[in-house]
Structures are given as structure tokens and as C-alpha cells.
Chain A
Amino acid sequence: MTALTQPATVLAPARRGRLARLRNLPWLAGSILLVVLLLGALGPAIAPHNPRDADLARSLMPPAWSEGGSWSYPLGTDQQGRDILSRIIAGARISLIVGFMAVAVAGGLGSLVALLGGYYGGWVDAVLGRIVDTMLSMPFLMVAIVMAQVLSPGIRTIVLILGFTYWATYARVLRGEVLRIKSQDFVALARVGGCSTLRILWRYILPNMVNTLIVLATLQLGATILAEATLSFLGLGVPPPNAAWGLMLAEGRQYVTYAWWLAVFPGIAIMLTVLSANMLGDWLRVRLDPKQRQV
């Protein structure tokens, strides 16, 4: 909405050399995300304890550095005596699986709708456009809550729910991309050259909108992980005794007045993960999508 007459603003003074290029990489975001990815991938192998191992004798132990804490439970224990660090590591895997898969479902469905609507135009576009409008006009959190309650709980359900509630954003943004690409000469040439519609969509249009898709997907990854945490927090996401971050917060909520670590550490885990995904998305946006540089 701000791109009426503005020339592109200069972003940063161009630095030269390989060293400078290295310095411009999003180091902070990249390393946080890498750590979370490693935690998710290695999970059980590096967790100091079994995340589901409960023992009431050691419940609500504070973090190691406060009085009464122990270094064998660095971030303390929860109300059931489970190790918080191990649960946060286990939660990383759930957040990542749900986040990436939901983004894949939403991105896939959204791309398909965008391709069909943008390429065919006419009534196909009109009908799909109205459906997208409808989806975007609904309070997605409410819809997700209702779906989560109606369907049986589990990781697959959450992925489908988040995919269903988020695809319209992709469809809306990517449709514009399809329209832009479609009007370019190489697509017309391909059509003259006798390419089938499917081939044009798959080989010519899709590869050209991948940049936008990647930027959008990275930015949406954070939002999706937040949504999963919110559903889990409300008790409608991944069911216990799984160690989803949102669920940890929900379970520890009634104890937080005297055991602050129950709330603080899972929250920091969510925040750092989402923050790094958002920062990476912002960086990619500037790199891959010159049109959006000013937003």
C-alpha cells in the first residue's frame, strides 16, 4: 500500500569482499534456528533425562543456580518432577514437526489455488477468490479451536487444522505472483511452442514464484509455531503427556506464582524459535523479493 511512487530505498551501504558478505548473513537467527533444529533432530539422544519420567519426590525443583537446585536438573523440574530441560528439548521436535508440516500443507494448498485461479482467471478465479476471502474473514484462532475440539487430538490433526486455517494467505499473495509471471513473454512463447497447460504451470510459472513462496513460508513458520503453542496452551493441541511447549506452560500455570521457571523457560523457547524464524524470513524477504523491500 505504500508502493505508490517510491523508488527503492537504499538499504545498507554495499560492502565489498567475501568477508563483508559473510558479515551480512543473519548469524544470530541462523544459529538459534540451527540449535533448535539440532535439538529437534537429536532430541532423545542428548536430553539428560526421559522427558516423561515423573517422580513426585523431586517435584518443583528450582533451576540449578538458585537455592535448592541441582545441576542434574539444570532448568529445574515441573510439578510432576519431570526435567524441564529434557521436556524443552522434546518440545522442540514437536514444534518443528508441526511447524514445518503445517507450512507445507498450507503452502501446497495455497500454491495450488493460486496457480489455478491466477492462470485460468474467469469464473475459476472468481470462485476461488471468494473462498479465499471467506477464509481470511474468519477468526482463524476460533476456527482452529473448534476444529481441534471436534476432531480427535494428535499431531496429525494439528497439522491439518493449521494447514487449513493458513492456506488462504498463501493463495492471496501467490495469486498476484502468478498473474505477474503469466503476462511475461516466456510464458506466451511456451504456449506458442505447444506446451501443455500442466507443463506451463509446473515448469514455467511455479519455479518463478518459488522465491516468494519461500519468503512467505519462512515468515509463516513463526506464526504457525505460535498457533500450535496457543492451541496446546488452551489444551486443544498436542495431548499430554507429550512435551509441547504450549502444553508445558498450561500445565505449569497454576504453580507459577511460586515456581516461575515453569512458565519462563518454555516461553523463552517459543520466543527464540519464532524470533529467529521471523528474522530469517525478514532477511530472505530483502534478499529474494525486491518488491517487498520497503515493507
Chain B
Amino acid sequence: MIYHWEGKDAVAPIAAAIHLGYFPPSVKTGKELAFLLRQQLPFRKGVGQREVGTILQLGQGRKGETVFILAVGRKPDLVLKTIKKMLPLLDEDPTNYLFINCKAYLNRNNPMEVKARPRLCGWYNAIGQLVDQVQRNL
């Protein structure tokens, strides 16, 4: 389970935190969200340029799935292709790996709502919805 994102914000780290159960799948108030964001979540402020490309393991989900995050930078296609093509070389079954494009999901599902109603924490809840979909399909 690899949540990938550009690397500059906290989208994938939050998705991983929700997936693993550190964070709840949704929040109702800005105060609740602010409390969560103060929790010293690893990579809460994104990753540095030198960490882009490193697959970071954050934990293991309830069904035994390993949860990773991956900052792919601005041009994700080649990085993701390289990883996918490397898997058979490393005797790994590519079908056991799920790549989740956090940014694409957020852009597709919630862009206007996030901008129009920031106090309702639409951005965080959209990540929660993404994780919910992922977990249902496991």
C-alpha cells in the first residue's frame, strides 16, 4: 500500500496515519483538526528534496498490509514506472502493491469544497474518504 504525493505537504502522511488508525477518518471542527495537526505526525510538513523518491514505511494495517508513503516530486510517472518494473526483478508480485495517487484523488473529488469551506475541514475529510475507499477494496 503506497500512498504517493508530490512531497511538499502532508497529504500522504495524513492518509497513512488515517489508514493505520493514528488519526480518525473525519473531523467535524477546525479545533479538532488543529489538535491532530499538532501531534508531531512524521513528515507532517512534507519531505526534503533529498528524501523525494525514498519509500518510507509507516506501519502495518489491520489486515496485515504494509503502509508506505512515497514522495514522487513533480514528475511522478517515471518514478512510479521504475518502481513497478523493478518489482519482478526483486521477486515481488506487482499485484500485491497498490499505488494510491493522493493528489489526483483530492483534485478529482474535492477541490471546490476545500476552497469554499475550509472551516469544515473538507480537505482532511476528503483524505479520510480516500482511505476509506482504499480499505474497503482490500
| B and A form one assembly | no
